[in-house]
Amino acid sequence: MTVHPVQLAFDGSGIDGSLFTTITDFARDTRWLNTPLEVWTNAGLGVFAVLMLVGWWNARRRDTPTMTLALAAPVAVVAAFAVTAVVKNLVTEVRPCYSLPHAYFVSACPARTDYAFPSGHSTTAFAAVAALWLLDRRLSVIAAAFAVFEGFTRVYLGDHYPHDVVGAALLALPVAYLVSRILGRIAVPLVDRLRAGVLAPVLTATPASVHTAR
């Protein structure tokens, strides 16, 4: 007899299912907040894109290593998200709506093969925090506040357990940091050439002849 792969999926409710239901019970008691947070959980990811754009805009007035870090930030976020996709398919943790069907859920239950651990939204958020830390720590602190809130919305809506969010942070922070740090070193010569070429108006706010600070 062939066993269907979804039968082998991991049930994470035993880890922090009680905390999950406490938060979703709060969602049941604050139904007026359900729709705003359901909209925010996706739209709010745009905040991290805006913060990275601010970092790039500010980097135009600074040296080439700084601009390199600004350009590396979105690459680091994508890299962290790619690692998350691999981990999801290795762990195969089913969504809470399958393990705790009687809990309160704002979000619709996704397909069984749309696994829960780690949270993709939280990965994006915390990866932005790490990438921005190397670029501009003030922007990183702002991103951190929004990342924590993003993680909360993922549990509030019933999409993820708390450990899915924590796991995403523990994965995204080092991956994004390392990718940004590596690119911030090896890609400087390339960015230097680009700042002196046709991309100078995009990559620098000063004359090409004085953009590099060594």
pLDDT tens profile 115-143: 999 999 999 999 999 999 999 999 999 99
According to the model, what pLDDT value does residue 10 have?
Answer: 77
Q: pLDDT value at position 45?
A: 93
Task: State residue 207's pLDDT score.
Answer: 54
Instruction: Report d(CA 210, CA 189) in Å as an integer.
Output: 15
The predicted structure's pLDDT at residue 86: 95
Name the pLDDT band for 213 (thresholds 50, 70, 90): very low
Do the Cβ atoms of 16 and 162 come closer than 8 Å?
yes
Q: Angle, nearest 10°, between helix axes 64-91 and 188-195? A: 130
Q: Answer yes or no: are the C-beta atoms of 181 and 188 closer than 8 Å.
A: no
Whether the Cβ atoms of residue 12 and residue 88 lie closer than 8 Å to each other: no
Residue 214 has pLDDT above 50, yes or no: no
